[in-house]
Structure 1
Amino acid sequence: MLLCNQLCSHFEAYKDIPKVTELRKKFKNIKQILKSHVFSDFSSLGTGKEFEESNLLQQLADACLVVDAMEPSVREELVQNFCSRELTSYQQIFEGAKLAKLDKTERRYGWIKRRLRTIEEIWKIFPPSWHVPYLLCI
């Protein structure tokens, strides 16, 4: 993927040539399909399904390598989607006026700490350079 991106950059000056334009469109479509498949695979993450299917976590770890080969925006979108899904229950619990106060900070901290420990196996699929637990906390 990285090599293809470099090759596309090299032929940027020739984008007016029909064959180059056609190949660039095909490459863009392939990347979009690949992104769609990866996001679909990650949609089952956090549902408990990953512990039922032993090879799913390895498959998702491999998918992270594919995402790394794509544009950085794909990785950012994937991590953002994952963090948003993870924080849905947090928002439901702590959104109310009673729990939103400053004196309830300890409960909020406790919740995020437990969540990070509970799904520790999931954190291992993401490359450390992605800093997913850190981004979740932010």
Structure 2
Amino acid sequence: MATTNGADVDDDTFDADDDRYDTLVLPADVQKVIDQILPSTDEIDRVDFNPVDYINQLFPTEQSLANIDEVIGSVKSKIRALDTDIRFTIRGHSDTEIDEHKALEEAQNSILLLFQQMREIKDKADKSEEMVKEITRDIKQLDVAKKNLTTSITTLNHLQMLIEGIDKIEAAIKKKSYGDIANLLHPVISVLEHFQPYINIPQIQELSTNVKELTAQITVQVRKECEDAFNGPNAKNFTPNQHFLDVCKIIDVIDPKLRLEVINWFLKTHLSEYTILYQESQELTWLDKIDRRHAWLKRALVEYDEKYSRIFPVHWEMVER
């Protein structure tokens, strides 16, 4: 029996080794955290709580045992209060678990809803992308159609220009209107070049043949004009005019070979006197007569400048020849 200030308490009554009084021993650091979170001044909450010492404190003397019923009642009240707190705490944990379970279900439902919305958005995006592709295809088709239409309109305009040009050239040839021929021939030849990719089409081939025939006919006429001007009976009396200027313009369009042929005719005609006067067998070819040769050439150049410079195109370079 233990004795505290004259009051004896039987140690067997509070055997520390009894399984009913097993104490849950927590690690020191865990206990420290619990004490910080749930501070308590009650001696029962202490880690080193000793029931025997606690009872001896409640009944320090034999006389204090007279109040044992009150003490027991007070302890029972505390026990009931603790039981009530424990029940509320357990119930609160149960409610919390229910709320957490409900919150988890709501979160899962929200996630499912979110996935559904994302799937709907993706489906709409896929549909929008497909729609954009279809619109793009339509735009490309329209663009190709526009280009084809533009090409067709341009081709038709060129075809109309070609046909009208051929008709006008035919009429101008009959009238020997070389000014009109000079203005029409180059555009017609240029337009015909646009139809080279379609030359196998019978109608285009026919138009191309017409242009070639007209060109050949014009070539014969302008060659005759030049031959009459430079080698004809009245060649010495030839006076340059607008008519012959138009002939030179036509020659410039038709063929470079014809142009060279005309140049040679002109030079042969106007240098024939020089060729005769200054043959190697002639006295004028001597070195002491070179001033006379120079004078003849100067006179010929002056004559050319006054009479012919305006009818021959500059790029023919007649003076340099």
**TM-score, L = length of structure 2:** 0.36
Distance 1:36 1:133 in 2: 27
How do 1:1-138 and structure 2 match up within 5 A? 1-45=185-229, 47-51=235-239, 57-98=241-282, 103=287, 104-119=289-304, 120-135=306-321
**2: CA distance, partners of 1:44 / 1:116:** 22
What is the deviation of 1:24? 1.8
Report 1 or 2 for greater relative contact order, CA contacts < 8 Å, sequence distance ≥ 6.
1
Identity of aligned residues (%): 24
Equivalent residues of 2:229, 2:238 under 8 A apart:
yes
Gaps spanning 5+ residues in structure 1: where?
none
TM-score (norm 1): 0.73
Over the residues paired in the alignment, what is the CA RMSD in angstroms? 2.6
Separation of aligned partners in 2, 1:33 and 1:134: 31
Over residues 92-116 of structure 1, what are the superposed CA-to-partner deviations in whole Å (9 max), with x where a residue is unaligned?
2222334585725443332222122
Unaligned runs of 5+ in 2: 1-184
CA distance in 1, matches of 2:194, 2:283: 55
- Bigger radius of gyration: 2
Once residues 131 and 125 of structure 1 are traced to their aligned partners in structure 2, the CA distance between those partners, rounded to angstroms, is 12
Give yes or no for contact 2:244–2:311 (8 Å, CA) kept in 1. yes
> Once the two structures are superposed, what CA deviation does each residue of 1:37-59 show, in whole Å capped at 9, x if it has no partner?
222222343523334xxxx6121
- 3-state SS of paired residue (1:43): helix
